Amino acid sequence: MAFMATRAHAREVVVVPDASHLVMVSHPHEVAALIQDAASAIGICDFPRDEDLLFIQGVLK
């Protein structure tokens, strides 16, 4: 799927080893971290990076 990232002019491509075709389900923490980094990079908001937050525990675990 790297060709899709190239076609979309992605700024970052992350390959998660052993991920399923639905990476959001098989590796939710990695996906959440990428979204947080992207949102912080463009100034949408600053997310705490503490994986013990209730949001991450309740939604992503």
HEC profile of 18-55: CCCCCHHHHCHHHHHHHHHHHHHHCCCCCCCCCCCCHH
pLDDT at residue 14, as a whole number: 81
Which domain, by its residues, includes 40? 16-60
Is 7 within the bounds of a domain?
Answer: no
Q: Is residue 50 situated within a structural domain? A: yes
- Is 56 inside any structural domain? yes
Task: Profile the chain (61 residues) by mean pLDDT over runs of 10 residues.
Answer: 83 82 86 83 68 54 48
Three-state DSSP class for residue 2: helix
Domain assignment present for 6:
no
Q: How far apart are CA 7 and CA 14, in angstroms?
A: 15
Residue 4 lies in a domain: no
Is 42 within the bounds of a domain? yes
Instruction: Evaluate whether residue 2 is within a structural domain.
Output: no
pTM check: above 0.85: no
The predicted pLDDT at position 53 comes to 57
* Matching residue, tokens 């949408």: 44
Task: Assess contact for 32 and 38: CB atoms under 8 A.
Answer: no
Number of separate domains in the chain: 1
